[in-house]
Amino acid sequence: MALYTCNELLRPARKQGVGVAAINLANYETAAALFEAAEQTGLPLIVQMYSRMFGNGKAEAIIPMLRKMAEKCSSPIAVHLDHGTSFEQAKAAVEWGCTSVMFDGSNLPMKENIRITKEVVKFARKAGVSTEAEIGHVAMGDEGHLTVPEEALRFVEETGVDALAIAIGTAHGYYKETPKLDVERCKAIADVLPGLPLVLHGGTGTPLADVRKVIRCGIAKINVATEYQDCFLKATRAELEKLDGKFMPVDRFMDPVREKCVEHAARLMRAFALQA
Ligand SMILES: [Zn+2]
């Protein structure tokens, strides 16, 4: 049995100055590869799904499978809702079996973000589930704005949230230019929130050396979605080309694709977990 809340994985990580990978899966293959990577590395892992999958029946069907896989895995695993859009969605995620939920109100006025986050924290805590929220805004095809340390402190004090996603210069998706991380800002936020795990969204394409720097400054959870899923797509494309129009049963076709995903996830997990 290796099912944990994010809090149980992230508190010790922040204390030790190491990072835990939080990787977005989207189907059986991208999920199974994550568990294989966790088994290979012996490291804790957060398996997560984007909010869209909680609105179309996919997450509801996949979560029981993830819990079963976690029970068989010898590494600690948390199952997380990424970028929850409402209290109702976070509630559903808890009821379907997530051990951690994010509510993302980073585009709302601060007051509204606090109000809904508070509700989510209250409901989740009763169910023994941990929480993440965001203050400042990590760009998602829109305009981002950086997190202010005083606002972060006020937000955590008023909501009681377990982990905080902060905006320090990353963005979601692939970058046109290499992002520049505001390490000093990260350190200032970590200093006003001792012990609280901070979360870096937009891990894709951020130079590992920079990610290592902010892990030393309080980042305990690193979200990676785009580059992991792109690894799946690229490997699928390569296998289709090899097949050259011939038939192969899909389960066998997927085996080498999954292998590529295992390698990719294991590499990220090891890089984030290196002690400073
Ligand atoms: Zn994100």
- What confidence tens digit (pLDDT) does each residue in 163-189 have? 999 999 999 999 988 899 999 999 999
Name residue 255's amino acid. Answer: D
The percentage of residues in the chain with a pLDDT greater than 90, rounded to a whole number, is 95
Distance 228 CA to ligand 1 centre (A): 14
> What residues form DSSP beta bridges with 73?
none
Distance 256 CA to ligand 1 centre (A): 28
Q: Could you identify the residue written with the tokens 């990577």?
A: 37
Tally of CB atoms within 10 A around 26 = 17
Candidates 3, 19, 40; CA nearest to 266 is: 40
Q: What local confidence, expressed as pLDDT, does residue 196 receive?
A: 98
Candidates 27, 28, 47; CA nearest to 39 is: 47
Quick check: 276 pLDDT over 70? Answer: no
Which residues crowd ion ligand 1, with CB under 5 Å?
201
Quick check: 28 pLDDT over 60? Answer: yes
Q: In the predicted model, what is the mean pLDDT of residues 190-219? A: 96
138-158 pLDDT, tens digit per residue, is 999 898 999 999 999 999 999
Domains of the chain: 6-273 (3.20.20.70)
The one catalytic residue in 82, 162, 182, 210 is 82
Candidates 259, 272, 271, 275; CA nearest to 36 is: 259
The overall average pLDDT reported for the chain is: 96
Distance 107 CA to ligand 1 centre (A): 13
Q: What span, in angstroms and rounded, lies between the C-alpha atoms of 191 and 194?
A: 6
Instruction: Record the pTM.
Output: 0.97
Distance 202 CA to ligand 1 centre (A): 6
Q: What local confidence, expressed as pLDDT, does residue 2 receive?
A: 81
- 191 among known catalytic residues: no
The percentage of residues in the chain with a pLDDT greater than 70, rounded to a whole number, is 99
The residues, ordered by sequence, that sit 6+ positions from 248 with a Cβ below 8 Å of its Cβ are none
- 269 band by pLDDT with thresholds 50, 70 and 90: very high
Distance 25 CA to ligand 1 centre (A): 13
